[in-house]
Amino acid sequence: VEGGETACKLARKWAYNVKGIPKYKAQIVFAAGNFWGRTMSAISSSTDPSSYEGFGPFMPGFKIISYNDLPALERALQDPNIAAFMVEPIQGEAGVVVPDEGYLTGVRKLCTAHN
C-alpha cells in the first residue's frame, strides 16, 4: 500500500513541478480490476464495489480505464493533465489476469510519447 500511495504522491509532484500541470489538476489513470490496498487512495481507484461501497467521498483526480486496452489508454493520455498511469502487470485479486502480448510494451510507448 505504501508503494502505491508514494507512487501517487510522486506522480503528482512531478506533474506540477516538471510537466507544468496547474495546481490541483493532476489526474492519475488506473487500470480497472486493480487491487493495491484498502486505503482511501487505493479504494478510490477500485472497480470492486465490495472494496469501496460506503466509504466515499473518494480521492479526486483518479480516472479508471479498462485493463489491457491500449486504445482506452491512448484516449485517456490525450488529457494534458495526466500525471501517471498505474497498472499491475498481472492482476491477481480476482484470479490471475495476464494482459495480451505486447500490452505492457504498448503502455510504455504511449506513456513515453505523452510524457
Single pTM value for the model: 0.93
Q: Cis link prior to 57 (omega < 30° from 0)?
A: yes
Judged by DSSP in three states, 2 sits in helix
Each residue's pLDDT tens digit, 14-33: 999 999 999 999 999 999 99
Cell of 106: 504498448
DSSP sequence for 85-115: EE--SSB-TTS-B-PPTTHHHHHHHHHHHT-
Each residue's pLDDT tens digit, 24-66: 999 999 999 999 999 999 999 999 999 999 999 999 999 999 9
Q: Which domains does the chain have, with CATH numbers?
A: 2-113 (3.40.640.10)
- Cα separations in angstroms, 101 against 12, 27, 73, 77: 30, 27, 16, 21
| Sheet (strand 82-86) strand order | 62-65, 27-31, 82-86
